[in-house]
Amino acid sequence: MRMLRHLQYWLTGGGPHIRVADFVPETHPVRQWADTFPWAGLVAAVERSVAQRFPTPTARGRAPVATRVLLALELLKHELHCSDEQICSQLRTDLAVMYACGIGEVQVDGSQGHFVLPEVLAQFRSRLDAAVMDELLALQAAAAMEAGLVSPAHLVVDTFPSEQGSQRVNDAATLYKAKKKSSRSSGISPITAPPRARR
């Protein structure tokens, strides 16, 4: 009951900080999944790549969202099969998602300083490129090999198809459909009309 009151306080008003790790069980799948990543190396690689290709951000305005949070959100999006809006919404309320994003403590008031807008996530994604993705995967593989969990000795290679999602309809398809639709609506000819049932 005390814990519930504590949580309710966090949802509605101001107060002390909550330690996120205390509320996410060690056996929680998202916690175990998040603990496998070599976060320090991944974040450093992304920041190095972004610093080389983009101008340094100004100190004015709201403090930027940490790279660790954005990278974790992007990965969680795939793991939990969410859209940008859904994962950003989960970050506001789901303590396991907060843990995966490396948020150690949450302010117990309604202001929710840790929130991330979906637009910020999309902007972060637009700054990633093929080189940094290769680097991130190499770091993850190196960490797994270093820990003796996997071995590159015997490997298998293959390809698979990925469909193009949300593809725009081209002009040819539109015209074809319009033609078909107009021929249908122009009326059924007596030859093709279905025979009437006999009484």
Partner 1 sequence: MRRFGRQCRGQGKVFVTLVRQTETQLLTTGRQVGGLAQAAQAQVQSAGQLAEDQRIRLATQLKVALAAHQQIATQSQRLTQGKSLSQCKIVNAYDPTIAPICKGKSNCPTQFGRKPGLIAEPASGFIFAFALPVGNPADPSYVVPLVDKVQHAIGQVASRPTLAIHSLAGELALNDSKLRETLHGRGILTVGIPQTVEPLTPAPTPEEIRRMLHEAGLPHQRTPHQVQLACAAGYSRPVVESIIASLLGRGAARITYKGQRGAIVQIGMAVMAHNAATVRRIHQDRLSKRAQKFRRLLRLKRHKANEFKDSKN
Rounded to whole angstroms, how far apart are CA atoms 45 and 86?
Answer: 27
Q: 44 to 83, contacts with partner 1 by CB under 8 A?
A: 74-79, 81
Return the residue of 156, 188, 193, 197 that touches partner 1, per CB under 8 A: 156
Distances in Å between the alpha carbon of 132 and those of 53, 175, 192? 11, 42, 61
Q: Find how far residue 164's CA is from the centre of its chain.
A: 18
Q: Which stretch binds partner 1 (CB under 8 A): 9-17, 59-67, 156-164, 184-192?
A: 156-164
Is 164 near partner 1 (CB under 8 A)?
A: yes
Question: Min. distance of Cβ 48 from partner 1 in angstroms?
Answer: 14
Specify the 3-state DSSP secondary structure of 59: coil
Q: 19 to 38, contacts with partner 1 by CB under 8 A?
A: 21, 26-27, 29, 31-37
Distances in Å between the alpha carbon of 189 and those of 183, 186, 192, 196? 11, 9, 6, 14
Question: Min. distance of Cβ 114 from partner 1 in angstroms?
Answer: 14
Is 178 near partner 1 (CB under 8 A)?
A: no
Q: Find how far residue 186's CA is from the centre of its chain.
A: 48
| CB contact at 8 A, 27 and 55 | no
Return the residue of 99, 106, 116, 121 that touches partner 1, per CB under 8 A: 99
Q: Which residues bind partner 1 (CB under 8 A)?
A: 21, 26-27, 29, 31-37, 39, 74-79, 81, 99, 102, 104, 125, 128-130, 133-134, 136-142, 144-168, 170-172, 175-176, 179
